[in-house]
């Protein structure tokens, strides 16, 4: 009874609120907010037409297409295989399952540069996997496909780890009920299980997508970085920086920042919705 | 130590949890705050402890204003509904916590702490669990450890939030008696919150019935049970039959039957609610002289246990009347389902409609 | 938004659900093994083969080359710099994470959900941009560029810049780990501590932190792994001065771009081992949390 109302309670008897919140906001401002605002302030050095000329230059636009396109495809691949992986890890037993489960987080723990050179070595024309693909006419390394491979790699944990807990919490009873009412396994999946997990799947997809858009380290080794073909937007920013074009580097960065912010808010909204659904269901 | 609570108000947003609550708790008493969930009783307890701040009003401990005092300074012992034992500490460390966090000057020595903790664990009869962790204990054991922990700091007041709420029925009864005995031994002013009327009536010296943020009635268990001051208290404390009635000069007219009520002598033609406890319903197979009675049919008989409960359907309307008889009386009457009987209510209590 | 980084409490609550499914709610054997095979193939192509490649490539030219690559003075200095950056970034973000989790999990206040979103920001920002913003502030042409130059302080293309970029990219991890854990534990134990006379610090040290110790540990492990492995952000602010401002991942890049593959993979294998250790520790922490949850549930 008390808990229900304490949500609205302004006064809370525990100490340390001012100190902890004060420090949180101070540190957040110092490390994140003020530096990020620098990017937006820096762009004001450009007039709008200059800004527009930078962010809509053909080479930059080509990089957006590659970055967003490859991120989208990578996230879709992860949505499909991530769901499968989560399903297999939750529902089935097989030898080495624990190890596989732990390895799913590898892309999160492995430094991106290491991932980059490893994927390049594996998918290059003479690499372990690349040598089998090349005779089929599929070139992976140093092409946009390489970018997709790298972005799939780094987004891999997200779908699995968002869907997995939801699948685990699904009650066997509802599926048994469906079966007792005459549903076959496929009907049970599409009508009972999938509706319960799709918000989590969507969240995982969005997380993988957002992560892929900003990715740099794992991509640049395998991409080949050919302008108009395999050059991602973060690399454009770096190239401009190396040429001391700070304002135009920042202009491109601001475009990416705005998109990232929008995605972040969308994802947080999604997660809020998922949690609310979860609590409403229990 | 006595506690005076004066005109406490507390709102959570637009919800009024406590609305002008005043209450005196004399030193050494064991008081129950009784009410349905959401009535504000836990909030009141937390305000006494200092875990919640009232919007207005004051709390006095032994005559001294404690409203502005911090929790740490109030010297209260608080037993949380879900015990709030420290999961990562042994039972011993849990009980010792209050002593260990004292400033150096007043902190007892380790040997003294050890002695005190074991003393308390013996008091709650759980000395043998000293090295266990809370998750390894049963609900009843946790409850007693929580109590020992609260007592370790030698509080002037002991506050218990639904102390038996999370326990199963049997353990609940045991612990109830045990708490009563403990209180008789220690004589520490204690307030506990409960929504269970049986618990409140059995354990406490005094019952404070709270409803919708307001005190409905304060009195000994006997008083509040026998003389409820409001329909709410009547209905909350035990089973009761409720009748719509017309009150006129000391008589309640219920569906054509006029019952003497020994009150409201000057009231004329007013609507009111009449209450009769099931055990105040007398049953006869034949009309018993001139006394007013309802005709009714026995709808259902529950004959399990020492009392027999009857559901009676009044002849004049659909309402059911509940009655309780002893097994002896039930056998004597030889009642069966579907039988026509006469119902004689005693001790009718009437509350005029507002 | 870093769901994948947290140990969701729910993940451990329903373990019974996982085992012993009835026949009615499981798939035919051939479906099961087909799905398992697909997943294993996918994970092999994307995870296991690349991981194996790191170690194979590292040892391709023999163990001596491997050791030489790791004991090269430039490699050693990059290890040292990486350790320094992590040693500063991890404790700072740890303190921040505890403070933020305390405020967010134990109190209600306006704008809380915005604050949580803002804490996630560094995770959503491209590492390249994370580096860029510090260049804009501390670089030669930046806000404080000339002031720093006057006092002969170097931030960009120097260690402070690397540390700042590292702090930025690892900013949310401890906080994100602790917030849901501390929220799930509620406030009752803290209130009990308060009634028993404990001060705020005593409550934090003796009650709150011991209760979230495994989550805290995992947050620190993860922060550390990301701090030591950060590439993009550090790459922007470092200036790639060999032996001076090269971290381990940057050293990998330099060696790789010099076509010194064996050495590049040798250094990379160090980082891969770090990642594997992180995963092992994570599994250990999860096991601990699951066990604690089970003990709590049984009683």
pLDDT at A11: 59
Distance (Å) from the C-alpha of residue A108 to the closest C-alpha of chain C?
8
Ranges of residues in chain B with a pLDDT under 70 are: 354
> Is A212 inside any structural domain?
yes
3-state secondary structure of C4: helix
pLDDT, tens digit (0-9, with 9 covering 90-100), for A272-282: 887 777 666 55
Distance (Å) from the C-alpha of residue C128 to the closest C-alpha of chain A?
6
Q: Are the Cβ atoms of B80 and C198 closer than 8 angstroms?
A: no
pLDDT at A118 over 80: yes
Q: Are the Cβ atoms of B46 and A9 closer than 8 angstroms?
A: no
Is A1 within 8 Å of chain B by CB? yes
Find the domain containing A54 and state its range: 46-281
pLDDT, tens digit (0-9, with 9 covering 90-100), for B160-202: 999 888 788 888 888 888 889 889 988 899 999 999 888 899 8
Chain A residue at shortest CA distance from B10: A9
pLDDT in tens, chain C (299 residues): 443 444 444 443 444 444 445 555 678 888 889 999 999 999 999 999 999 999 999 998 888 889 988 899 999 999 999 999 999 999 999 999 999 999 999 999 989 989 998 998 998 899 999 999 999 998 878 788 888 888 888 888 888 999 999 999 999 999 999 998 898 888 889 999 999 989 999 999 999 999 999 889 989 999 999 999 999 999 999 877 777 788 999 999 999 999 999 999 999 999 999 999 999 998 998 888 888 777 666 54
3-state secondary structure of B24: strand
Distance (Å) from the C-alpha of residue C224 to the closest C-alpha of chain B?
26
Q: Which of A2, A8, A13 sits opposite B42 (nearest CB)?
A: A2
Tokens of B188: 């520490």
Is C195 within 8 Å of chain A by CB? no
3-state secondary structure of B38: coil
Distance (Å) from the C-alpha of residue A38 to the closest C-alpha of chain C?
6
In this structure, the dihedral spanned by the alpha carbons of residues B226, B230, B232 and B233, taken in order and rounded to 10 degrees, is -30
C64-71 CB contacts, 8 Å cutoff, 24+ apart? C65/C262, C65/C263, C65/C266, C66/C262, C66/C266, C66/C269, C68/C263, C69/C255, C69/C260, C69/C262, C69/C263, C69/C266, C69/C267, C70/C266, C70/C267, C70/C270
Q: Which of A5, A11, A13 sits opposite B17 (nearest CB)?
A: A5
Identify residues of B whose CB sits under 8 angstroms from chain C CBs.
49-51, 71-72, 76-78, 80, 82, 84-89, 97-98, 101-102, 133-138, 149-150, 152-153
Nearest-angstrom CA–CA distance, A117 and C265: 8
pLDDT at A242: 87
3-class SS shares of chain C: helix, strand, coil, % to 5: 80, 0, 20
Separation in Å, CA A253 to CA A40, A133, B84, B194: 9, 35, 49, 61
pLDDT, tens digit (0-9, with 9 covering 90-100), for A45-94: 889 999 999 999 999 999 999 999 999 999 999 999 999 999 999 988 88
Buried b vs exposed e over C140-150: b needs ≥16 C-beta within 10 Å? eebbebeebee
Q: Which of residues 48-107 of C touch A (CB under 8 A)?
A: 48-51, 53-54, 57, 92, 95-96, 99-100, 102-104, 106-107
Which residues are CB-neighbours of A136 under 8 A, at least 6 positions away? Answer: none
Is A281 within 8 Å of chain C by CB? no
Is C41 within 8 Å of chain A by CB? no
pLDDT at C30: 87
Question: Is residue A37 very low, low, confident or very high in pLDDT (cuts 50, 70, 90)?
Answer: very high
Q: Which of B71, B82, B134 sits opposite C195 (nearest CB)?
A: B71
3-state secondary structure of B229: coil
Neighbours of chain A (3+ CB pairs under 8 A): B, C
Is C161 within 8 Å of chain A by CB? no
Q: Which of C189, C213, C292 sits opposite B86 (nearest CB)?
A: C189
pLDDT at A221: 92
Which residues are CB-neighbours of B112 under 8 A, at least 6 positions away? Answer: none
Rounded to an integer, the average pLDDT of A238-248 is 89
3-state secondary structure of B273: strand
3-state secondary structure of C202: helix
Distance (Å) from the C-alpha of residue C143 to the closest C-alpha of chain B?
46
Tokens of B169: 């029925």
> Is A176 inside any structural domain?
yes
Q: Using a CB-CB distance cutoff of 8 angstroms, which residues of chain C are in contact with residue A169? A: 10, 13-14, 17
What does residue C236 show for φ and ψ, rounded to 5 degrees?
A: -70, -40
Q: Using a CB-CB distance cutoff of 8 angstroms, which residues of chain A are in contact with residue B13? A: 5, 8
> Is A19 inside any structural domain?
no
Give me Rg for the CA atoms of chain A. Answer: 23
Domain ranges of chain C: 10-298
Distance (Å) from the C-alpha of residue B350 to the closest C-alpha of chain C?
44
pLDDT at A1 over 70: no
Give me Rg for the CA atoms of chain C. Answer: 23
Best residue of C12, C19, C25, C91 to probe chain A, by most A CBs closer than 10 Å: C25
Buried b vs exposed e over C232-265: b needs ≥16 C-beta within 10 Å? bbbbbbbbbeeeebbbbbbbbbbbbeeeebbbbb
3-state secondary structure of B130: coil
Percent of chain A with pLDDT over 90: 53
Q: How many domains does chain A divide into?
A: 1
Chain C residue at shortest CA distance from A123: C50
Q: Which of B78, B84, B150 sits opposite C189 (nearest CB)?
A: B84
Q: Count of A–C CB contacts within 8 Å?
A: 344
Q: What CATH number does the domain containing A165 carry? A: 1.10.3720.10
Give me Rg for the CA atoms of chain B. Answer: 25
pLDDT at A151 over 90: yes
| Fold category of C10-298 in CATH | MetI-like fold (1.10.3720)
Tokens of A64: 């957006």
Nearest-angstrom CA–CA distance, C87 and C253: 23
Q: Are the Cβ atoms of C25 and A170 closer than 8 angstroms?
A: no
Q: Using a CB-CB distance cutoff of 8 angstroms, which residues of chain A are in contact with residue B37? A: 1
């Amino acid at each position: 009874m008390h808990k229900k109302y304490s949500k609205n309670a302004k006064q809370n008897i525990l100490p340390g609120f001012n100190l902890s919140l004060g420090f949180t906001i101070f540190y957040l401002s110092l490390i994140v907010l003020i530096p990020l605002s620098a990017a937006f302030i820096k762009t004001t050095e450009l007039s709008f037409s200059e800004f527009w000329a930078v962010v809509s230059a053909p080479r930059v636009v080509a990089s957006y297409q590659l970055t967003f396109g490859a991120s989208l495809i990578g996230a879709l691949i992860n949505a499909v295989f991530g769901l499968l992986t989560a399903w297999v890890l939750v529902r089935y037993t097989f030898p080495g399952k624990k190890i596989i489960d732990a390895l799913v987080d590898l892309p999160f723990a492995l430094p991106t540069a290491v991932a980059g050179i490893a994927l390049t070595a594996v998918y290059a024309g003479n690499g372990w996997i690349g040598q089998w693909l090349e005779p089929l006419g599929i070139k992976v390394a140093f092409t946009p496909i390489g970018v997709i491979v790298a972005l799939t790699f780094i987004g891999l944990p997200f779908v699995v780890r968002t869907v997995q807990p939801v699948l685990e919490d699904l009650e066997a009873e509802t599926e048994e009920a469906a079966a007792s009412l005459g549903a076959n396994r496929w009907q049970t999946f599409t009508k009972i299980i999938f509706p319960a997990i799709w918000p989590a799947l969507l969240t995982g997809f969005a997380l993988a997508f957002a992560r892929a858009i900003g990715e740099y380290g794992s991509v640049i080794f395998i991409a080949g970085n050919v302008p108009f073909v395999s050059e991602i937007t973060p690399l454009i920013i770096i190239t401009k920086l190396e040429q001391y074009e700070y304002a135009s580097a920042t202009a491109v960065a601001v475009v990416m920042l705005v998109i990232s912010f929008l995605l972040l808010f969308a994802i947080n909204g999604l997660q809020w919705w998922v949690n609310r659904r979860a609590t409403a269901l229990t | 130590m006595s506690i005076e609570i004066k005109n406490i108000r507390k709102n959570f947003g637009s919800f009024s949890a406590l609305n002008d609550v005043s209450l005196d708790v004399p030193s050494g008493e064991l008081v129950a705050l009784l009410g349905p969930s959401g009535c504000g009783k836990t909030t009141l307890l937390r305000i006494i402890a200092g875990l919640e701040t009232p919007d207005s009003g004051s709390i006095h401990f032994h005559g001294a204003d404690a409203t502005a005092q911090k929790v740490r300074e109030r010297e209260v012992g608080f037993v949380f509904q879900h015990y709030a034992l420290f999961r990562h500490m042994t039972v011993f460390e849990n009980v010792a916590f209050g002593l260990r966090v004292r400033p150096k000057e007043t902190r007892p020595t380790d040997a003294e702490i050890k002695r005190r903790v074991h003393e308390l664990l013996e008091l709650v009869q759980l000395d043998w669990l000293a090295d266990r962790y809370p998750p390894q204990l049963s609900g009843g054991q946790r409850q007693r450890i929580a109590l020992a922990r609260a007592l370790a700091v030698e509080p002037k007041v002991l506050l218990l939030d639904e102390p038996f709420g999370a326990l199963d029925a049997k353990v609940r009864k045991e612990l109830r008696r045990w708490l009563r005995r403990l209180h008789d031994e220690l004589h520490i002013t204690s307030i506990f919150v409960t929504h269970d009327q049986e618990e409140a009536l059995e354990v406490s010296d005094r019952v404070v019935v709270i409803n919708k943020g307001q005190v409905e009635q304060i009195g000994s268990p006997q008083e509040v049970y026998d003389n409820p001051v409001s329909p709410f208290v009547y209905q909350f404390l035990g089973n009761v039959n409720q009748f719509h009635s017309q009150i006129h000069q000391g008589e309640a007219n219920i569906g054509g039957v006029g019952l003497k009520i020994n009150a409201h002598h000057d009231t004329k033609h007013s609507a009111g609610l009449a209450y009769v406890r099931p055990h105040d319903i007398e049953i006869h197979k034949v009309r018993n002289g001139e006394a007013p009675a309802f005709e009714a049919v026995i709808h259902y008989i529950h004959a399990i246990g020492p009392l027999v409960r009857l559901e009676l359907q009044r002849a004049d309307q659909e309402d059911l009347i509940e009655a309780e008889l002893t097994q002896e009386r039930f056998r004597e009457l030889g009642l069966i389902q579907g039988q026509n009987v006469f119902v004689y209510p005693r001790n009718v209590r009437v509350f005029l409609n507002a | 938004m870093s769901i994948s980084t947290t140990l969701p409490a729910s993940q451990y609550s329903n373990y019974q659900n996982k085992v012993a499914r009835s026949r009615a709610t499981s798939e035919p054997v051939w479906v099961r093994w087909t799905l398992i095979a697909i997943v294993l193939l996918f994970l092999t192509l994307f995870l296991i083969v690349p991981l194996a490649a790191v170690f194979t490539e590292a040892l391709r030219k023999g163990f001596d080359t491997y050791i030489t690559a790791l004991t090269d003075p430039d490699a050693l200095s990059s290890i040292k710099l990486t350790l320094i950056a992590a040693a500063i970034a991890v404790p700072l973000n740890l303190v921040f994470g505890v403070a933020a989790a305390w405020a967010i999990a134990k109190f209600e206040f306006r704008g809380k959900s915005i604050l949580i979103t803002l804490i996630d920001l560094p995770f959503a920002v491209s590492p390249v941009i994370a580096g860029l913003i510090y260049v804009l502030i501390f670089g030669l042409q930046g806000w404080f560029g000339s002031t720093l130059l006057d006092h002969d302080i170097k931030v960009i293309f120097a260690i402070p810049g690397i540390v700042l970029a590292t702090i930025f990219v690892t900013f949310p991890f401890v906080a994100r780990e602790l917030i849901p854990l501390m929220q799930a534990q509620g406030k009752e134990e803290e209130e009990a501590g308060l009634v028993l006379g404990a001060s705020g610090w005593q409550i934090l040290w003796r009650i709150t932190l011991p209760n979230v110790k495994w989550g805290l540990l995992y947050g620190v492990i993860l922060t550390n792994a990301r701090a030591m492995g950060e590439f993009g952000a550090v790459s922007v602010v470092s200036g790639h001065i060999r032996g001076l401002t090269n971290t381990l991942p940057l050293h990998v890049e330099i060696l790789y771009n010099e076509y010194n593959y064996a050495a590049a993979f040798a250094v990379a294998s160090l980082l891969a081992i770090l990642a594997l250790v992180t995963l092992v520790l994570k599994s250990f922490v999860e096991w601990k949390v699951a066990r604690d949850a089970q003990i709590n549930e049984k009683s």
